[in-house]
Amino acid sequence: MLQQFDPRNADLQIHIGGRLVHRNHAGVSPFDSLVQGGDGVWEGLRLYDGRIFRLTEHLDRLVDSAKALAIAGVPPRDEIVAAIRETLEANGMRDGVHIRLTLSRGTKITSGMDPRLNQSGPTLIVLAEWKAPVYGRDGLALQTSSVRRPPPDVMDPKVHSNNLLPSILAKIEATAAGADAALLLDRDGFLAECNGTHVFLVRRGEVLTSHADACPEGITRQTVLDLCAANEIPHRAARLSLAEAYRADEMFCTGTMGELAAVTRLDGRTIGGGVVGEMTNRLTDLFTAEVAATGERVVE
């Protein structure tokens, strides 16, 4: 699975540091914390028919992550939403759009890791692209990675940070193995998440997912769990081993970038019947209905 360039994105206007800039001229200072050390937090948002799905929850996570990193001067939420709206309107966007929202610690007065060198406030970046869900609907192939998701005492996944090297290294392994994405385990060998999505199993009608110990608190992940509760579908979070994944009836991934996507192969093994399963289809339909019925309007 390789994303392709969409010609509609050739002349994007990107919101950086309070102003709109053409993509060819957009950039951050070499003194910015993102460049100096990947020091920032981010969110992925999706625009449906002028509305952003779970916008409040995404902004909650952005602010919580910034607070955990002691990033000072986080813009008020209405300013962040205004920047998003301005970006979408400048690009004539209303539907089929993915938004990458980034907040760095900002520009330093000189190179160095010390946050006291950041004296001008954080840098807000709003990157909106025409982008449909990136995963195919016929079933993904995953490869278990040698890269482990660190526990909270190493790098707490509840901080949704720009430090994505473990995910990138895992993706390199998966690509070399001919897989669509990587499955990462935690330090004890239990399922954590994929390199860019959360992972679910279905076994005898029960929907299972890993605890949010070695993976972020996913917005789409929580939506799926809420839909299960609302529709009386048995579900729980658990410590899940690779053996449980291999013997699952169904497997699927969740995330803002790709919504729900079935997994039909793992480490060269066929999962379930090797096709998109009944529960995955049911939850996809419920998710689609939830998206259509909810969301915060940001553009008309």
Report whether pLDDT(277) > 90.
Answer: yes
Section 287-291 average pLDDT? 98
Section 266-285 average pLDDT? 98
Q: What is the pLDDT of residue 1?
A: 67
Instruction: Tell me the per-residue pLDDT of 69-87, one tens digit each, with 9 for 90 and over.
Output: 999 999 999 999 999 999 9
Report whether pLDDT(134) > 70.
Answer: yes
Report whether pLDDT(137) > 90.
Answer: no
- The crossing angle, in degrees rounded to 10, of helices 55-68 and 219-230 is 130
Instruction: Tell me the per-residue pLDDT of 12-47, one tens digit each, with 9 for 90 and over.
Output: 999 999 999 999 999 999 999 999 999 999 999 999
State the pTM of this model.
0.96
Number of CB atoms found within 10 A of residue 273's CB:
11
Instruction: Tell me the per-residue pLDDT of 185-213, one tens digit each, with 9 for 90 and over.
Output: 999 999 999 999 999 999 999 999 999 99
Q: What is the pLDDT of residue 136?
A: 82
Cα dihedral sign, 58-130-285-204: negative
In angstroms, the CA 88 to CA 52 distance is 11
Sole residue written with tokens 């309007």: 297
In angstroms, the CA 259 to CA 220 distance is 7
Instruction: Tell me the per-residue pLDDT of 86-121, one tens digit each, with 9 for 90 and over.
Output: 999 999 999 999 999 999 999 999 999 999 999 999
Instruction: Tell me the per-residue pLDDT of 41-57, one tens digit each, with 9 for 90 and over.
Output: 999 999 999 999 999 99
Mean pLDDT of all residues in the chain? 97
Taking CA 151 as the corner, what is the angle to CA 178 and CA 210, rounded to the nearest 5 degrees? 65
What's the token pair of residue 75?
């813009």
Instruction: Tell me the per-residue pLDDT of 219-231, one tens digit each, with 9 for 90 and over.
Output: 999 999 999 999 9
Long-range contacts of 194-198 (CB under 8 A, 24+ apart): 194/142, 194/253, 195/145, 195/167, 195/168, 195/170, 195/171, 196/167, 196/171, 196/255, 196/257, 196/258, 197/253, 197/254, 197/255, 197/257, 197/258, 197/261, 198/253, 198/254, 198/255
Section 167-177 average pLDDT? 97
Instruction: Work out the pLDDT band at 2, boundaries 50, 70, 90.
Output: confident
3-state DSSP call for residue 108?
strand
